[in-house]
């Protein structure tokens, strides 16, 4: 799993590292560590939170873009 890509896509959707951390029930330093590569992999629970957040946030953004293009 490319955690750096997931975090970058969440940030591209408008979330800050602090917001991502809060929604994933962790500290901002954990998110920063994954983003910079200082931390190679998250705990199982953090990984699950990141995947679920990514699914909901990035999918919603993609759905809105598709709706705008269809209009």
CATH number, residue 63: 1.10.260
pTM over the 0.85 mark: no
| pLDDT tens readout for residues 17-45 | 999 999 999 999 999 999 999 999 999 99
Give me the number of domains the chain comprises.
Answer: 1
CA–CA distance, 24 with 48 (Å, rounded to integer): 9
| pLDDT tens readout for residues 43-52 | 999 999 999 9
CA–CA distance, 6 with 51 (Å, rounded to integer): 8
């Amino acid at each position: 799993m490319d955690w750096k890509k997931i975090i970058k896509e969440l940030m591209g959707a408008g979330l800050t590292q602090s917001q991502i951390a809060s929604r994933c029930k962790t500290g901002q330093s954990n998110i920063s560590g994954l983003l910079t590569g200082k931390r190679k992999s998250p705990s199982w629970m953090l990984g699950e939170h990141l995947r679920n957040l990514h699914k909901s946030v990035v999918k919603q953004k993609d759905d809105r873009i598709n709706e705008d293009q269809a209009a």
